[in-house]
């Protein structure tokens, strides 16, 4: 199976307990299965900016996607899933609910979580608004244009 990484760099999104505006993995092909294998976050601010970032399942129907950069691990492969931001922001149940939440500092801070084998987050294809077809990342606290976020998945 091929692996892909969606990257959002230089985002200065609004901090929110429900919005997932850093980037959203979306699988629209019915019957397709993707597995999130790894997520990462980081900053290069020159002053202290506290962050609380989380990954969660999308619970609304976002609209008007803007594609973000996807990197592939295998040559000659193209992702069937997409990694986007949306003009109608994806939302989720209020923080702290979600798949992962991490507090960090964007002055050189960051990290990577590699999900354990068998513990990956599944994304199941379906039309927008379908249960389990999107996982998004958003900041509960913090906003700066000197940050980056990524999601790596297998399909």
In angstroms, the Cα distances linking 108 to 7, 26, 41, 125 are 18, 29, 11, 36
Predicted confidence (pLDDT) per residue in 37-72, tens digit: 999 999 988 888 899 999 999 999 999 999 998 999
| Residues contacting residue 118 through CB under 8 Å, at least 6 positions apart | none
**Taking the model in full, what pTM does it have?**
0.92
Mean pLDDT of 73-89: 91
Tokens of 129: 């608004």
Domain count, the chain: 1
CATH number, domain with residue 53: 2.60.120
Range of the domain at 35: 3-154
In angstroms, the Cα distances linking 149 to 76, 90, 111, 118, 134 are 25, 16, 10, 23, 16
């Amino acid at each position: 199976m091929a692996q892909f990484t969606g990257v959002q760099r230089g985002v200065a999104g609004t901090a929110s307990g429900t919005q997932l505006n850093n980037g959203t993995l979306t699988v629209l092909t019915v019957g397709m299965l993707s597995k999130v294998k790894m997520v990462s976050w980081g900053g290069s601010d020159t002053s202290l900016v506290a962050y609380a970032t989380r990954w969660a399942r999308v619970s609304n129907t976002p609209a008007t996607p803007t594609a973000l950069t996807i990197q592939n691990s295998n040559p000659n492969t193209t992702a069937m899933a997409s990694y986007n931001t949306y003009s109608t922001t994806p939302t989720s149940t209020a923080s702290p609910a979600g798949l992962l939440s991490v507090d960090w500092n964007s002055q050189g801070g960051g990290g990577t979580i590699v999900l354990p084998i068998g513990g990956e987050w599944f994304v199941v294809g379906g039309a927008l608004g379908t249960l389990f077809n999107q996982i998004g990342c958003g900041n509960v606290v913090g906003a700066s244009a000197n940050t980056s976020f990524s999601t790596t998945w297998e399909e």
